[in-house]
Amino acid sequence: MAEYSDKLMTALKEAMKSKDKQRRDTIRLLQAAFKQVVIDTRKELSTEQELELLQKEAKKRKESIKELENAGRAEQAADEQYELELIASFLPEMMSREEIEVLAKQAIADTGAESQRDMGKVMGKMMPHTKGKADGSLVSQVVRELLNS
């Protein structure tokens, strides 16, 4: 049931065998995040919860990369970038813009949306199909563009 935990454990073993300290340490950080949620909630994580946690960790890295680059701390930003790429390797492949547009057009047709005021209806229809598979900001951008045209 804990698909991502198993993948992390396998990757940790590989990193330890190859003596890749940075990869090993990053994987341990992710495992610690998983373990902390398990301790806090006193329940095992489902695969969906693990995916959400990985996405949350990736989002943290993206935000800190921007902040570090703005502060002129390129070396720390590079470390965060490495962690982000490692986390992304465990995440499922994201939907392309074209795939999102197809879903958005279908959702607009299904809801009868005509303007920006109807964006909530369209997003409500789309989110179950895109959750965990597409960046929410990209989804809303595509919907907004389609409703404006």
Q: Please, what are the domains in the chain?
A: 3-90 (1.10.1510.10), 97-148 (1.10.10.410)
Residue 60 and residue 87 in contact, taking contact as beta carbons nearer than 8 Å = no
Residue 36 and residue 96 in contact, taking contact as beta carbons nearer than 8 Å = no
Give percent above pLDDT 70 in the chain: 99
pLDDT at 111 over 60: yes
Q: Is the pTM of this model over 0.85?
A: no
Q: How confident is the model over 143-149, as a mean pLDDT?
A: 87
pLDDT at 114 over 90: no
Residue 59 tokens, joined: 């989002």
H runs (alpha helix) in 18-148: 21-41, 47-70, 74-90, 97-111, 119-130, 136-148
133 or 67, greater pLDDT: 67
Closest-CA residue to 95 (of 143, 147, 135)? 135
Give the number of other CB atoms < 10 A from CB of residue 24: 18
